[in-house]
Amino acid sequence: DQQVKQNSPSLSVQEGRISILNCDYTNSMFDYFLWYKKYPAEGPTFLISISSIKDKNEDGRFTVFLNKSAKHLSLHIVPSQPGDSAVYFCAAIRGSNYQLIWGAGTKLIIKP
């Protein structure tokens, strides 16, 4: 039962352009969503989050958009830089223990 889905295993973007990573979810009870970034041989690191009561959150080059009616969120990176090449995971929080439910990840490749 995949409650959080990232349907694109990989994405290739030219340096300087916008990268858009997508995530869909099925459980309308999720109340918080997060994006994590992971480099090879390292653990995931927190990037940005959004509460379910908001539709946008921005932090520097990173913006997350939430469309609750479509159960869809996206991460925008503008402009994309070579150091952004990594695997990006979408995750949702559920329950009083604030456990994370993860998508399968999207590998972003920034081309010079």
Partner 1 sequence: EAGVAQSPRYKIIEKRQSVAFWCNPISGHATLYWYQQILGQGPKLLIQFQNNGVVDDSQLPKDRFSAERLKGVDSTLKIQPAKLEDSAVYLCASSLGTSNNNEQFFGPGTRLTVL
Q: Which residues contact partner 1 by CB under 8 A?
A: 4, 9, 31-32, 41-46, 49, 51, 89, 91, 93, 96-100, 102-105
Residue closer to partner 1, measured from CB, 44 or 86: 44
- Please write down the HEC assignment for all residues of 24-62: EECCCCCCEEEEEEECCCCCCEEEEEEECCCCEEEECCE
d(CA 54, CA 75): 14
Closest distance to partner 1 from the beta carbon of 45 (Å): 7
Q: Which is nearer to partner 1, 83 or 98 (CB)?
A: 98
Nearer to partner 1, 43 or 60 (CB): 43
